[in-house]
Amino acid sequence: MSREVFLELSAIGGAYGATRVLDDINLEIAKGEFVALLGSSGCGKTTLLRTIAGFISPTTGRVSVGGRDVTRLPPDKRGMALVFQSYALWPHMTVAQNIGYGLKLRGLPRAEIGVRVSAMETLLGLDGLGARKPAALSGGQRQRVALGRALAIDPEILLLDEPLSNLDARIRLTVRHELRALQKRLGITAIHVTHDREEAMVMADRIVILNAGRIAQQGAPEEVYNRPASAFVAAFMGAENVLSLNGAPQGEDFVIAAGAANAAGAVPLAGRPLAAGAVEARFRPEAAQLFSATTPIVGPGITLRGTVTAVSYPGGHWRHSIRLGDREIMADAGRAFEPGETVQVHVAPEALFLFNSPDKVPATAISRSAAGKVHA
């Protein structure tokens, strides 16, 4: 994939009346890249997609494609196609007529429209369905028709506004991979809006996480997942267990003081700008290791001590709700521990995300000897 900048957003701002919904968005997308705009409802991702498409005018900033400023151009002059969440198919038209609709608006000859529509039907596995109307199709088939209508006009950029959200879970998994494979085969630049973390992870070359109209972090899926830049990103990427710990930088480590529910521990700083005092610690349920209260635990990381309050089986593992003082966390294990049982939860350094607390308290004094015990 070429790394040349193809679509560029420069200082994009947007508002609905007095409510600001996009704030200083700067983003460069390469030709042939698949980018997912990920975020919760109201974060600005759909507004940003529609600003790129030309359905919404930014209050500030510039949109350019291939070095050409398209900020004030109408949607049909931008070389883009948008697949809507609802698919927006004409119910009175057949599959073939829906796919060829954009070509008809462009005034192409009927014979050429027929050739292109036939090619799209074959490409998308819709052969033999050209005479059907949308009501006679499954959800997955309707999604393919909407995609075919978008691709038939040969756009430079494909915009996808949560096009899989109306499909049931089983079909959605299949269509994800079909859509990604098709994008790679065609080499088309794609921007996909979604609130589904897993969907973004498996489909995109790069994930852009939005929060309150700003880019919170962007990067390859594995980078955003394993190295979240903030507590917000960590939580959004599944690290919903949260604790308040005390500690201080010491050499190349951040040494964690013993607390009511945790033993003393240490994790490598690894470039994290952590200050002495209270820190917010986050980790995923599947990243925790669960042990009985008497099992010796050695090695870096943190070890927590709590009581099992509930156990469930979501499939493939047992999920435990564990009370740690005034907090409750979730931890997975290969076997079920009994409710009421005292357990230890160990989180390895690479699975523990630490962030400076917004309202830090003075760090608990940590002696060199205590640090020595951590590494013993």
Show Cβ contacts of residue 177 under 8 Å, excluding neighbours closer than 6 positions. Answer: 202
pLDDT recorded at residue 163: 81
CATH number of the domain located at residue range(s) 239-375 in this protein? 2.40.50.100
Show Cβ contacts of residue 148 under 8 Å, excluding neighbours closer than 6 positions. Answer: 98, 99, 117, 120, 121, 123, 124, 126
The runs of H, that is alpha helices, within 54-196 are 95-99, 101-105, 110-123, 139-152, 169-186
Show Cβ contacts of residue 136 under 8 Å, excluding neighbours closer than 6 positions. Answer: none
pLDDT recorded at residue 359: 58
Per-residue tens of pLDDT for the chain, all 376 residues: 447 899 999 999 999 888 999 999 999 999 999 999 999 888 999 999 999 999 999 999 999 999 999 999 999 899 999 988 777 888 999 999 999 998 998 889 999 999 999 988 888 888 899 999 999 998 888 888 988 898 888 899 999 998 887 777 777 888 888 889 889 988 999 999 999 999 999 999 999 999 999 999 999 999 999 999 999 999 999 999 999 999 999 999 999 999 989 999 999 998 888 999 999 999 999 999 999 999 998 888 999 999 999 999 999 999 999 999 889 999 999 999 999 999 999 999 999 999 998 754 433 333 333 333 333 3
Q: Which fold has domain 5-232?
A: Rossmann fold (3.40.50)
pLDDT recorded at residue 376: 30
pLDDT recorded at residue 2: 46
Question: Measured in Å, how far apart are the chain's first and last C-alpha atoms?
Answer: 48
Report domain extents, the chain. 5-232, 239-375
Specify whether the CB–CB gap between 63 and 12 falls below 8 A: yes
pLDDT recorded at residue 25: 97
